[in-house]
Amino acid sequence: MTSSTTPRRLVRRADFVACSKGRRVATAAFVLQERRRGDDLPPRFGFTVTKKTGGAVERNRMRRRLKEAVRLGAAPCAAPGSDYVLVLNRNALDRPFDTLMTDLADALRRASVPRPPRHPAGAPS
């Protein structure tokens, strides 16, 4: 993380789009999307809440809760050189905060586990 406790943020649309094409890990309150940048810079986080999840007040409350969870608990689990986007759903509003923190840590750990190599269709295994 950076020298302060505030994690770095994703701000460019291109970074959000690139994350949407990366690895996904679903939890009860959000979907974590991860993209490896290929550098050793600190991880960056972005947050997305669609309008169909509720009004502006509820969407902002969901976003604030997840931002705080990232600020408090993402440092030990987030991989350097990665971008993460959290796509929030309605459960993020009512989920207990400690459970939200556990979900975040678990999703970050699951995203960092290497995937087994894919075999092309028709190739011998």
How much is the average pLDDT of 27-36?
A: 93
Residue 122 has pLDDT above 80, yes or no: no
Nearest-10 Cα torsion for 80, 75, 99, 36: -10
pLDDT exceeding 70 applies to what percent of the chain? 86
pLDDT exceeding 90 applies to what percent of the chain? 59
How much is the average pLDDT of 18-38?
A: 92
d(CA 89, CA 63): 10
Strand arrangement of the beta sheet that strand 82-88 belongs to? 8-9, 44-49, 82-88, 30-36, 23-26
What is the predicted pLDDT for the residue at 24? 93
Longest dimension (CA), the chain: 54
| Contact between residue 84 and residue 118 where contact means Cβ atoms under 8 Å apart | no
d(CA 95, CA 73): 16
d(CA 119, CA 125): 7
Entry pTM: 0.83
How much is the average pLDDT of 64-69?
A: 92
What is the predicted pLDDT for the residue at 114? 74
